[in-house]
Structure 1
Amino acid sequence: MRILSISGQNIASLAAPFRIDFTTAPLAGAGLFAITGETGAGKSSILDAMCLALYGDAPRLSAGARGDKVPDAAGEEISAADSRAILRRGAATGWAEVRFTGRDGADYIARWQARRARDRVEGKLQSVARSLARAADGQVLAAQTQAVSEQVAALTGLSYEEFRRTVLLAQGDFDAFLRADTGERAALLEKVTGTGLYRAVSIRVYERTEAARAAHAQLLARAAEHRLLDDAARAALTEEIAAKTAATEAAAAERAGLTEALARHRRHAEAQAQLQTAAAALAGAETRQAEAGPARAQLERLERAAP
């Protein structure tokens, strides 16, 4: 988000129309500048105008209790937290406008306006009018208070409280911060910047660190229970390992021999079975040969008689 310009009229002590353009000289090239002036000159009113245009609220409205009442020119009382209380006394209408660049890179115009009935100084205050428009073509994107606030928060990435704590530090909070002692200053810093979350994260990190240290200490204690072997015991283990390694190699050789013997036995059994099959076939052939004796003798006689 980037503020491009702030303008308005009849905002607190600022009666005449004003416009501060950050895109033109001399502010365009100023990386850092100060708003100075006498008390009541309208320094805070410029910041109020920026907050009113964007969020419809201002830090000075949050300074008092929400239940406080202030008199109005129309003869009625309004809440001290009512944004219309910033309207300059003796003015029938007042407005604030901010031109800014959103997170999407486009420029937008946020506007806030308060007016009295019939545009008369003694007229009754009317409802605040707010709008959000696209700067490129002037198209109004939202014209209701809640919708404008939601759109501005989405385009800037900041809610009003986040904007007030990060972009705009209220004078009362800053003065209290300077006068506080170290402990109170830390509490105020958390309040202003909303960094209480980081304190909770720090506590959890500390607790997890302590738990990790305790676990590490337990592991060290367990490691201390194991002692290293002396030279004699280590030599004995080395000899035992060598003996077992030799035994393992001998067993492997014996297993290879047994495997080969088992294979020979299997081949012998197969040969025995084949031999029995061949003997049975031979016996059957001899039987058939004996049965064919008379026929063979007859065949021999026929062969001799054939010529």
Structure 2
Amino acid sequence: MHLHTLTIQALGPFPGRHTIDFARLGSSGLFLLEGPTGAGKSTIIDAVVFALYGKVASREATEERLRSAHARPGDETVVDLVLEVGSGVYRVRRTPAYQRPKQRGTGTTLQQSTVKLWRLTDPDRPDDGELVSTRLDEVGLELQRVVGLDRTQFVQTVVLPQGEFAGFLRANPEDRRGLLQKVFGTEVYDRLQQRLERLRAEAGRALEDASERVARAVDHFVGAAGVPADDADALRGLATRLDAAA
């Protein structure tokens, strides 16, 4: 998965609108997310995870923390992510649920969470895309399908927030094995190994059946031809050696 751009507004410590060009930052193959405590590093990670899964990275936190306390009342909290996976380029735009001022009267009302998912032909033209869905459940399933990981798997292997990787290391070996297969795409080798094991077992059974048929054929020949006992034993021994050599 490759991130192209991330646009956030009224999110965490960022009251305004900001766009991160990941494609440009990662052109050399590596970039560093660095800054002092409170600079907004976790907010950027939360924004990516929220865009993909509708939840923040940490299991102990809720999406309520996404709304910037410094945002103007009328500014919408938005996360807009353009990403590329094996099946194509996608743009997802999400807004979390938060309290906003009422349009009439005083007080606040709940602004419901929203989502839109587009499939793009060009990551540099995010406004020219095919709308896939605006339903939370459909978008969630589609993004999980194209990314290939659910939220728990994503944060344990791609994001690695504090404490999550330790949980991954403490998981039972079979769970870790299955997850790493998904991340690194090694399922094909596992399937190949299983196939080779089945072929070896089938070949072993076929060889055993053939050996039994040869032994029966030798016994039938010895009996029908009236071969003396010593010669019969020699024939059986020759058949056994030929079988072993095969």
Normalising by the smaller structure, the TM-score range is 0.5 to 0.7
Which residue type is aligned with residue 149 of structure 2? Answer: L
SS in 2 for 1:88: coil
For 2:173 and 2:107, locate their aligned partners in 1 and report how far apart those are by CA, in whole Å: 45
SS in 2 for 1:36: coil
The 1:41–1:35 alpha-carbon spacing in structure 2 relative to 1, beyond 3 Å, is: same
Q: CA deviation at 1:85?
A: 3.2
Q: CA deviation at 1:143?
A: 0.5
Map of 1:100 onto structure 2: 83
User: Contact 1:7–1:17 at 8 Å: present in 2 too?
Assistant: yes
Map of 1:12 onto structure 2: 12
Which residue type is aligned with residue 23 of structure 2? Answer: T
Pair 1:241 & 2:230 matched: yes
The 1:38–1:95 alpha-carbon spacing in structure 2 relative to 1, beyond 3 Å, is: same
Map of 1:128 onto structure 2: 113
Map of 1:197 onto structure 2: 175
Q: CA deviation at 1:103?
A: 2.3
Q: CA deviation at 1:190?
A: 3.5
The 1:34–1:95 alpha-carbon spacing in structure 2 relative to 1, beyond 3 Å, is: same
Alignment of 1:269-280 (within 5 A): none
TM-score normalized with structure 1 length = 0.49
Q: CA deviation at 1:53?
A: 1.1
Q: CA deviation at 1:21?
A: 1.2
User: Contact 2:50–2:57 at 8 Å: present in 1 too?
Assistant: no
User: Contact 2:7–2:17 at 8 Å: present in 1 too?
Assistant: yes
The 1:159–1:197 alpha-carbon spacing in structure 2 relative to 1, beyond 3 Å, is: closer
Work out which of the residue numbers 169, 172, 178 in structure 1 matches 2:163: 172
For 1:132 and 1:32, locate their aligned partners in 2 and report how far apart those are by CA, in whole Å: 27
Q: CA deviation at 1:10?
A: 1.6
Work out which of the residue numbers 121, 130, 133 in structure 2 matches 1:142: 133
- Matched residues, percent identical? 27
Q: Kindly report the root-mean-square deviation, in angstroms, between the aligned alpha carbons of the 2 structures.
A: 3.2
The 1:240–1:163 alpha-carbon spacing in structure 2 relative to 1, beyond 3 Å, is: closer
For 1:13 and 1:143, locate their aligned partners in 2 and report how far apart those are by CA, in whole Å: 27
Q: CA deviation at 1:89?
A: 1.4
Map of 2:94 onto structure 1: 112
For 1:144 and 1:150, locate their aligned partners in 2 and report how far apart those are by CA, in whole Å: 10
User: Contact 1:103–1:157 at 8 Å: present in 2 too?
Assistant: no
For 2:50 and 2:176, locate their aligned partners in 1 and report how far apart those are by CA, in whole Å: 30
Q: CA deviation at 1:146?
A: 0.7
The 1:94–1:119 alpha-carbon spacing in structure 2 relative to 1, beyond 3 Å, is: farther
User: Contact 1:190–1:196 at 8 Å: present in 2 too?
Assistant: no
Pair 1:46 & 2:44 matched: yes
For 2:13 and 2:134, locate their aligned partners in 1 and report how far apart those are by CA, in whole Å: 27
Name stretches of at least 5 consecutive residues in structure 2 with no aligned partner: 122-127, 179-227, 235-246
Name stretches of at least 5 consecutive residues in structure 1 with no aligned partner: 65-80, 178-186, 201-238, 246-307
User: Contact 1:142–1:151 at 8 Å: present in 2 too?
Assistant: no
Map of 1:63 onto structure 2: 60
Map of 1:86 onto structure 2: 66
SS in 2 for 1:15: strand
Which residue type is aligned with residue 230 of structure 2? Answer: I
For 1:9 and 1:99, locate their aligned partners in 2 and report how far apart those are by CA, in whole Å: 15
For 2:37 and 2:107, locate their aligned partners in 1 and report how far apart those are by CA, in whole Å: 28
The 1:117–1:141 alpha-carbon spacing in structure 2 relative to 1, beyond 3 Å, is: farther
